[in-house]
Structure 1
Amino acid sequence: MTSFTPQTDALGGSVALTALVAFIPLVTFFILLAVVKLKAWAAGLASLAAALIVAVAVMKMPALLALLSATQGAVFGAFPVFWIVVMAVWLYQVTVLSGRFEDLRRIFDSIGGGDIRIQAVLIAFCFGGLLEALAGFGAPVAITATMLMALGLKPLKAATAVLLANTAPVAFGAIAIPITTAGNLTGLSSDHIGAIVGRQAPLLAVVVPVILLFIIDGRKGVKDAWAPALATGVSFGIAQFLCANFFSYELTDIVAALAGLGGAVLFLRFWRTPARAAQAEAARERLGIAAPAAGSEAERLTGSRTFMALLPYLLVIVLFGAAKLWTLGVNMPKTLASTDVKIPWPGLDGHLLTAAGTASKSTVYTFQWLSSPGTLLLITGLIVAVIYSVKDDGGRFRLSVGNSVAEIGRTVWRMRMAGVTIMSVLALAYVMNFSGQTISIGMWLAGAGGFFAFLSPILGWIGTAVTGSDTSANALFAKLQQTAASHAGIDPNLLVAANTTGGVVGKLISPQNLAIAATSVDMEGKESEILKTVIGWSVGMLLFLCCLVYLQSTPILGWMLP
């Protein structure tokens, strides 16, 4: 079979012309999704077809190699990416089926001390962060929006609050699959990328709870409750930084969400002001929320039930921590890694060459059947299911192991089209990467020199805004960021991380997320109203990130990087 070496100037010897044509698959995807409003899976498949045509007709890649590139990308999209997402959603579903989810909700109700604004922040920000850590892909918005509506918030406020709250944890969502995807596509260390993101995203996390207060109750809300909100944000941000840099980037959102909740609990325990009760009641009146009727207080939770409600998330931390860090007696990271199966992709491996004429290492697929975060989530879920089936409090929380296992199949079926979307987008990314389309775009953009560092987060913002997924944005642009950085003399890890962090604030205006929020709060067809309330926050935070990344690429803030 003929070998292939990607050329950045395949069209007329011009990098600029080649790059412009290479944009066609991306432009196709964005237009079909955002303008034509095709389903994401259909837009992904159509754009994949466009990428294959450009690869063969313009980049001169042999058709068979182009098709094989797509199959490797699709398989990677199925496992580990889709596998992780399915297992994360399934673990959440186990808590719902068992009835423990309602106890988790009561935990947040009790912490707020009767202040609806603080309760809303904890649900949207902390619990939403937990859901983003395990599920992502719109689940946190849908679930927390419903919970805020149940508290009594008006639909527009609830939708706006949950969309904004969903920004801070997105980069580490679904067990940090955006960062893992970026590492796999670029060959850079996912741990290193995660560490840099852990020095960018926390700066947003610190202020988001205070912004939520403003959205919920205006300046009065900020004046009354800025202190506990800031304590929550600072706790969350510090935990994000520490976990991403010194523990496990995959667990960052879980640890940060629990730390944010813990910080709020501790602060509220000692935060006493004479006017607190009056302020909370006044806030209810301003928001048009009736006070709870006498005798309707939430059932008191026992310590045992509180622990059982938090058990899945605590167990995830223990198992993932052991898998990443345990070295006493048995080196767990090495032991798990030794089970990985390396598969040179048939027909592709050895035929895709680098510019130096050596065989590309990207054509080797790693099957992480045991070390994958998805498999660890499966093990966690099975343990939780067994414990929930035994500890059912006299049948009140009855859940059989068989029903828990059957839910895996139901989850896969419900998410089947999301799986097609993920596989098509990653197939698209692999074709663009292996054919040289992404490299051509990166070479062209690198002409901006050091200023490209300022523009870098915008690519992640656009990618996530259109696809609704930071993972998809990294699949599309991570290799491009790496290429542009290398040619502009900037640390590639910084710009790949910037793509991820830029995507964090792009999620806020994603049409898919807007639709999910609108549906959850009974505002179908009024997505434009929600967009008007969030677009300013999204653009403002994006500009902040652009400045931050640019300064981190210079000696001014270069000291922030690991």
Structure 2
Amino acid sequence: MQWKQDFTPIADHLWLSAIVALIPILYFFWALAVKRMKGHIAGVTTLLLALLISVIAYRMPVGMAVMSITQGAVYGLLPIGWIIITSVFLYKLTVKSGYFDIIRNSVTSITEDRRLQALLIAFSFGAFLEGAAGFGAPVAISAALLVGLGFNPLYAAGICLIANTAPVAFGAIGIPIISMEGPTGIPAMEISKMVGRQLPFLSIFIPFYLVLIMAGWKKTMEVLPAIIVSGVSFAVTQYFSSNFLGPELPDILSALVSMFALAVFLKFWKPKSTYRFSTESEVAATAQAKAVSYTGGQVFKAWSPFLVLTAFISLWGIPQVKAALTGHYEGTNGLLKLINSIGYHLTFMPEVPGLNNKIINASGQPIAAVYKLELLGAAGTAILLAAFVTKFIVNVSWKDWGRTFIETLDELKFPIITIASVVGFAYVTNASGMSTTLGMALAKTDALFPFFSPFLGWLGVFITGSDTSSNLLFSNLQKVTATSIGMDPVLALAANSSGGVVGKMISPQSIAVACAAVGLAGKESDLFRFTVKHSIFLIILIGILVFLQSNVLSWMIP
């Protein structure tokens, strides 16, 4: 039996259908922001509500709706949940071995100022990880590092989520941009150029905004020179790399240039006062920072787990290597062919029973549905290998290594339930047609569509947790709508991706990942309340920028 999606199931009326489709999203906002439910409870109840609406209002067969949830839950476990488990595991190894004390000391030797530490780690290092791996790794690792340095866990998670906006569109070696070329037929390079003429404005603003959130206006002005160096170096590199090299490298290059520029600048410039959180004792913090002096070799060894992590993640991100790890390599390189053989046997793509090719989309085509299990190719496996190498670097016993892994699994059981449930929610929302209904409603805004175009991407990332998924979901709708109202389709596609980046900080997946990384399981509502106002503010700014680029600044469109 096949079932065809109906995007206007309520009285054949788009706006009534959109209101019904919006109910699970509004409920999730209410559950976290107002009711302050624990994340796994909010996630599971939102999932159940979406299931009911998909069956009752959208008349989706119960079996198909349930199986779409299982497809999403599996994806929530692998690769997303797997990344979180291995990231937190690696961090805990450095803490238990005592090497994180040296890492903390090395960062404070560059600067003891919390504002500048946030720029180095949350903004620049997080952007590097986003460019290399994507998914939840950047927030998980950078937030854990900040907590280790002494940041309040909620602040660390929130700051890293907000900082992660600047690089998301070019994350995971440019996949969000590249993914739009297939459905739309518009070259990825053209989309990359346009995104590179939007996000640099955000990249300059985000470092300033981060420090403003942390310390207020007066304390932000104290470090304005460092903020300018961090943001401008990132933005300029992002513009040139996205416009002249393509979508694959902007994050990695921008992050490296930004980190290097800020570190060098801090050799010659210091703020008038050293900013610490009100809960910290300045005397104690200064004494701790200056009590021990480590050699260059000790510092290098302490950072080695994260250097190894960077190497593995970067390797996993190379297209040819990624193809081999998943059993899809077709080249002649002997080593990659060997890896391909292993990857082929560790990649499983079983059909989702009762769902694969059973749903017919608006074009009359059946939608394939498989469980995507890339055991070797998953970024979490790269992080696990880094943790394996770390065992020998920090010299822990196999017993302690295994015990730490079990402790990590125990700590993350509720966050993993949250992630599996919210990804299941995303999948049933997409499979039933609810996401498309919401997209079609926003597309009806006519002359104001350039302003609302980024909101589609924002909504897509909120639902799916992924800029790539949002781009796949709405790219063709963006192109068709833009063409019909006289808006350049390249601008609309870029707007979808640029708008999506600020939806990441309120996505249920991202919230669960960040809370898991800093030990705030069950506090997802607090983090959501922290980020939601910033997300709404930033999406409005992006909407204004896109509207201006469509109507006044059209010379910026490639």
Query: Please, what TM-score do these two structures have when normalized by structure 2?
Result: 0.75
Bigger Cα displacement from structure 2, 334-343 vs 101-110: 334-343
Aligned residues of 1:142 and 1:516 also touching (Cα < 8 A): no
Which of residues 438, 442, 445 is equivalent to 1:441?
438
Aligned residues of 2:440 and 2:477 also touching (Cα < 8 A): yes
Which of residues 399, 404, 407 is equivalent to 2:404?
407
Matches within 5 A, 1:208-247: 208-212=206-210, 221=219, 224-237=222-235
For residue 361 of structure 2, what is the aligned residue in structure 1?
354
Instruction: Call closer, same or farther: CA 1:195–1:497 in 2, change over 3 Å.
Output: farther
Instruction: Call closer, same or farther: CA 1:200–1:365 in 2, change over 3 Å.
Output: farther
For residue 311 of structure 1, what is the aligned residue in structure 2?
304
Q: Secondary structure at the match of 1:314?
A: helix
For residue 295 of structure 2, what is the aligned residue in structure 1?
302
Instruction: Call closer, same or farther: CA 1:298–1:432 in 2, change over 3 Å.
Output: same
Could you tell me how far apart the structure 2 residues matched to 1:304 and 1:213 are? 32
| 1:370 partner letter | L
Could you tell me how far apart the structure 2 residues matched to 1:226 and 1:313 are? 29
Aligned residues of 2:91 and 2:144 also touching (Cα < 8 A): no
Aligned residues of 2:71 and 2:371 also touching (Cα < 8 A): yes
Bigger Cα displacement from structure 2, 311-320 vs 453-462: 453-462
Instruction: Call closer, same or farther: CA 1:214–1:172 in 2, change over 3 Å.
Output: closer
Matches within 5 A, 1:287-298: 289-290=282-283, 297-298=290-291
For residue 333 of structure 2, what is the aligned residue in structure 1?
329
Q: How much does 1:188 deviate? A: 6.1
Number of aligned residues: 524
Which of residues 203, 224, 230 is equivalent to 2:201?
203
Q: How much does 1:447 deviate? A: 0.7
Q: How much does 1:88 deviate? A: 1.9
| 1:49 partner letter | L
Bigger Cα displacement from structure 2, 21-30 vs 194-203: 194-203
Instruction: Call closer, same or farther: CA 1:106–1:288 in 2, change over 3 Å.
Output: closer
For residue 52 of structure 2, what is the aligned residue in structure 1?
53
Q: How much does 1:514 deviate? A: 11
Q: Secondary structure at the match of 1:265?
A: helix
Could you tell me how far apart the structure 1 residues matched to 2:181 and 2:493 are? 9
Instruction: Call closer, same or farther: CA 1:102–1:197 in 2, change over 3 Å.
Output: farther
Give deviations 1:53-92, integer Å, cap 9, x for gaps.
2222222222211211111111111111211222222222
| 2:502 partner letter | G
For residue 258 of structure 2, what is the aligned residue in structure 1?
260
Give deviations 1:20-68, integer Å, cap 9, x for gaps.
2222222232223323332222222222222222222222222211211
| 1:228 partner letter | A
Could you tell me how far apart the structure 2 residues matched to 1:518 and 1:409 are? 17
Which of residues 132, 143, 146 is equivalent to 1:144?
146
Instruction: Call closer, same or farther: CA 1:186–1:548 in 2, change over 3 Å.
Output: same
Matches within 5 A, 1:371-390: 371-389=377-395
Matches within 5 A, 1:129-140: 135=137, 140=142
For residue 14 of structure 2, what is the aligned residue in structure 1?
15
Instruction: Call closer, same or farther: CA 1:483–1:259 in 2, change over 3 Å.
Output: same
Could you tell me how far apart the structure 1 residues matched to 2:518 and 2:77 are? 29
Aligned residues of 1:44 and 1:425 also touching (Cα < 8 A): yes
Aligned residues of 1:116 and 1:280 also touching (Cα < 8 A): no
For residue 431 of structure 1, what is the aligned residue in structure 2?
428
Q: Secondary structure at the match of 2:349?
A: strand
Could you tell me how far apart the structure 1 residues matched to 2:289 and 2:43 are? 49
Q: Secondary structure at the match of 1:407?
A: helix
In the alignment, does 2:472 pair up with 1:472?
no
Could you tell me how far apart the structure 1 residues matched to 2:464 and 2:172 are? 6
| 2:266 partner letter | L
Q: Secondary structure at the match of 1:82?
A: helix
Bigger Cα displacement from structure 2, 476-485 vs 229-238: 476-485
Instruction: Call closer, same or farther: CA 1:295–1:163 in 2, change over 3 Å.
Output: closer
Could you tell me how far apart the structure 2 residues matched to 1:79 and 1:115 are? 37
Matches within 5 A, 1:264-275: 264-269=262-267, 271=268
| 2:164 partner letter | P
Aligned residues of 2:90 and 2:387 also touching (Cα < 8 A): yes
Instruction: Call closer, same or farther: CA 1:419–1:216 in 2, change over 3 Å.
Output: closer
For residue 164 of structure 2, what is the aligned residue in structure 1?
169
Query: Please, what TM-score do these two structures have when normalized by structure 1?
Result: 0.75
Instruction: Call closer, same or farther: CA 1:281–1:99 in 2, change over 3 Å.
Output: closer
| 2:360 partner letter | L
Could you tell me how far apart the structure 2 residues matched to 1:331 and 1:198 are? 36
Could you tell me how far apart the structure 2 residues matched to 1:60 and 1:258 are? 50
| 1:318 partner letter | A
For residue 501 of structure 2, what is the aligned residue in structure 1?
501
Q: Secondary structure at the match of 2:70?
A: helix
| 2:539 partner letter | L
Aligned residues: CA RMSD = 4.9
Matches within 5 A, 1:75-114: 75-112=74-111
Give deviations 1:77-121, integer Å, cap 9, x for gaps.
111121122222222222222222111111111112x66754564
Instruction: Call closer, same or farther: CA 1:54–1:477 in 2, change over 3 Å.
Output: farther
For residue 341 of structure 1, what is the aligned residue in structure 2?
348
Bigger Cα displacement from structure 2, 409-418 vs 453-462: 453-462
Aligned residues of 1:68 and 1:348 also touching (Cα < 8 A): yes
Q: How much does 1:434 deviate? A: 1.4
Bigger Cα displacement from structure 2, 510-519 vs 439-448: 510-519
| 2:352 partner letter | W
Could you tell me how far apart the structure 1 residues matched to 2:106 and 2:457 are? 35
Q: How much does 1:3 deviate? A: 0.6
Instruction: Call closer, same or farther: CA 1:288–1:197 in 2, change over 3 Å.
Output: farther
Q: Secondary structure at the match of 2:163?
A: coil
Aligned residues of 2:195 and 2:498 also touching (Cα < 8 A): yes
Could you tell me how far apart the structure 1 residues matched to 2:383 and 2:193 are? 23
Aligned residues of 1:385 and 1:404 also touching (Cα < 8 A): yes
Matches within 5 A, 1:464-543: 472=465, 481-482=474-475, 484-489=477-482, 490=489, 493-504=493-504, 506=506, 540-543=537-540
For residue 452 of structure 1, what is the aligned residue in structure 2?
449
Q: Secondary structure at the match of 2:366?
A: coil
Q: How much does 1:6 deviate? A: 0.5
Could you tell me how far apart the structure 2 residues matched to 1:31 and 1:281 are? 39
| 1:320 partner letter | I
Q: How much does 1:7 deviate? A: 1.5
| 1:368 partner letter | E
Aligned residues of 1:10 and 1:18 also touching (Cα < 8 A): yes
